[in-house]
Structure 1
């Protein structure tokens, strides 16, 4: 672990050299693939040539290749055999996506990220007792690929793909058992996980905050306990990702009331492992540059372009929002993953996830992004002694005789003492951190104060269940520029 810290320091010191060398290596390795021949990888010698010749793609663009891979064809996007696919429902469209996962991506990206996470954690907390107990992993489900029974290829949530392929020594220190961890039926799985892990010595938890809360609350219910520390007294850390942690922090502090509890964020998606929180005094994440992933970034002003201009790591600026484009050792070439980030440091490169390119509210020119919404709702919860469980928001459009506004649906674990005060703080914080929103709210010119609906505990769980999106990597869509999620949720609430 100490040796790996030196390797991390190396790419922190020479980030541009590491990325340039990596890009050339990826191009060289894939030059004889179908994709490599199509775009003449053999004659690409610079990153500028790479940008000019290879198009930026979405999942829909590469789906014909993925479909062939799932049926057993090889050497299409990447030279080595592809047998695993990370299934992602995504939040940008309803159709499931199947992201190819090569052996190189498993070993040199996802597992390397896991080992680096442990290295950084131990380096930050040399007194850790994490390894004296089990790591509770709250992952997804793994299924046999049904596209072609002879293809011998498999798919599942990225967490399940990783769990299924873990080396034996890693399987020994995780819980629950593999048959439970990979169950497909989410509600039955939560029940079995709760009962299986009750008497384990759990010292760490890894998972998505939203689904981790569901499990922890069920465990407390079974045990009749008021704190998870009554169940797992040696629990010391929660390693989380997929959704922002800030809105859930207060709820976790009430479930695990210990000043010594540690929280560590990762940026691990179906497409790759991108970032790790490397400091104890900050929630920003170190961008990991030697995982077989070459990064490009699309500035905000280019997001709506069909073939936007990208910039490399040496051209990014602090505080600006960028869409991420990746080229990977699984054969994703200039692939748009849909996430947006902003850089909080350029030496070394540290980032914060700011949202999704298709998840925002801009119905009135306010350009509200997920990071704004999460920061504002966390502030409102803090000041009104509330604990948020889930939320979504969208526009309420202008109608005859009325002004537009933002409409929020919020499920609380602990409701605010004063809902009117909560709404005022939410609105004020949004105005403070988003100048476009503030301009539209000025004297109620284009937007009036937000409308907030409180819904019963369990509402979002039942809504996600209705949509077939329980568990794993599935996430509640935070913001939408239309009323699709709002109307569906409100209709369900009325029906119930």
Structure 2
């Protein structure tokens, strides 16, 4: 017999689905309301006064007065907020800063306000409720649920708490889920990832786990340790485990591996959360893409990725997007981000309702494990490694190796040396140290033994030229990407590697 909680979840899910369907069926009107509210609420802030919000009555006015910005461009305002000043980007002060790894100059402090915080929590809750409404499956609410996340221990800066987003959200788990939620607070506060996963295994191995949630690379490590301890597939250990919730990286490279570790297929829900906002979640099991959250205090704009680096690229709203086009997504939010470029590119898979997939980053990157390594970081690492040495490099690119024949995954550096290092181990160590110093996510993955240190594959002389020629891109304006998030280039270079 289902519990009262499971029984009550179905009518609640039906109510939430009705509310979501209402705004999803009126997308343009919903976004216009969000837009007008944002302008009205922020017109007396420093940012609002600087950009004449009191004169803005339309989206065209907004485009004319508010330029596209990334974090670095917004930093002068954010720094004033961090110092404790009020009414800078949004009314009052934020209640949190989500601290993230900066791409150019140190940590980023993303404000979270009392208006924006509930949207993070509601979207995660609604994703599960929409699943219940669609499938009728609510049995899992009686089992234990695990959310593999960052430590909920928060620091404080000028009276404002700060931490990783997942650690902040951990403080908002609804009371009706508290008894079912794992791991314990004590275990969740463990900073060392390997120690933490071992503790989670000990706490959960004899429990009735029904929902498991987290970034696939972290969850894979958890699964492997469970199997090592029990000698059984995860689906045998947790007979009622039937829902995997994930976000942050593409699940597809992991899907076959996961099904093997679990021993059967389980349903999954994809989420699109970020420190800047909870943008979308998978609302249908049989549809590609995630439902864009149009009623969550976020106003969206889009620029075609291919036009993004032009002087005056065209900015549009959801009303004018096309299916299958790669767009840079801009957001304006109740946290005080304005025409803000989060760096992601998306494609629309549906317009009734509006669903998206995350297609990548506007710049080349590696984030196969959630590390967000960018071109600037690998170039800086190489620069530091060859400094004051006779080493010279003709060309290089970096790709993730997700499923190596043995050992942990790693980043594979394909390098065509003109002059090779005399001490390759020291050279690798310099590269590795520089990357870890620049990128806290990468550091965490190495420390947590999710990744092992990078591996160098030497490419034959003129190997990169041969590769570019083979794909019809030799010469001209064509460049080899410094890094990529898949193995396409790596596979093209495999036959051009020097044998050991």
TM (norm. structure 2) is 0.73
Report Cα offsets for 1:419-456 as digits up to 9, x if no partner.
xxxxxxxxxxxxxxxxxxxxxxxxxxxxxxxxxxxxxx
Counterpart position of 2:159: 152
Report Cα offsets for 1:122-167 as digits up to 9, x if no partner.
01221331111121001112444354xxx22222221111002334
Report Cα offsets for 1:220-279 as digits up to 9, x if no partner.
2222x23112321111110001001111100110111224x1111111111111111111
For the residue of structure 2 that corresponds to 1:74, the secondary structure is: coil
Report Cα offsets for 1:280-303 as digits up to 9, x if no partner.
223311112101100000112321
Report Cα offsets for 1:39-82 as digits up to 9, x if no partner.
12112100110111011111112223222323322211111431
The counterpart of 2:112, out of the listed 101, 107, 112, is: 101
Q: Does the CA contact (< 8 Å) of 2:302 and 2:329 recur in 1? A: yes
CA distance in 1, matches of 2:244, 2:170: 17
CA distance in 2, matches of 1:176, 1:22: 37
Counterpart position of 1:481: 481
Counterpart position of 2:76: 64
- State yes or no: 1:280 paired with 2:292: no
Q: Does the CA contact (< 8 Å) of 1:392 and 1:410 recur in 2? A: no
Relative to structure 2, which stretch is displaced further, 336-345 or 250-259? 250-259
Distance apart, 1:409 and its partner CA: 4.8
RMSD, aligned α-carbons? 3.5
Equivalence map 1:127-166=2 (5 Å): 127-145=137-155, 147=157, 151-166=158-173
Equivalence map 1:25-424=2 (5 Å): 25-89=37-101, 92-93=103-104, 95-107=106-118, 109-145=119-155, 147=157, 151-223=158-230, 225-259=231-265, 261-305=266-310, 308-359=313-364, 408-412=399-403
Change (3 A) 1:465 1:56: closer
Q: Does the CA contact (< 8 Å) of 1:342 and 1:354 recur in 2? A: yes
Q: Does the CA contact (< 8 Å) of 1:205 and 1:239 recur in 2? A: yes
Distance apart, 1:185 and its partner CA: 2.5
Q: Does the CA contact (< 8 Å) of 2:101 and 2:440 recur in 1? A: no
Counterpart position of 2:477: none
CA distance in 1, matches of 2:104, 2:239: 42
Q: Does the CA contact (< 8 Å) of 2:242 and 2:267 recur in 1? A: yes
For the residue of structure 1 that corresponds to 2:115, the secondary structure is: helix
For the residue of structure 1 that corresponds to 2:403, the secondary structure is: strand
Q: Does the CA contact (< 8 Å) of 2:399 and 2:483 recur in 1? A: no
Q: Does the CA contact (< 8 Å) of 2:301 and 2:330 recur in 1? A: yes
| Structure label with greater radius of gyration | 2
CA distance in 1, matches of 2:341, 2:400: 30
Counterpart position of 2:425: none
For the residue of structure 1 that corresponds to 2:95, the secondary structure is: strand
- Number of corresponding residues: 402
Change (3 A) 1:240 1:144: closer
CA distance in 2, matches of 1:61, 1:298: 18
CA distance in 2, matches of 1:324, 1:283: 19
Structure 1: state its 5+ residue gaps. Answer: 361-369, 375-387, 397-402, 416-460, 487-496
Structure 2: state its 5+ residue gaps. Answer: 1-12, 380-393, 407-431, 455-479, 487-500
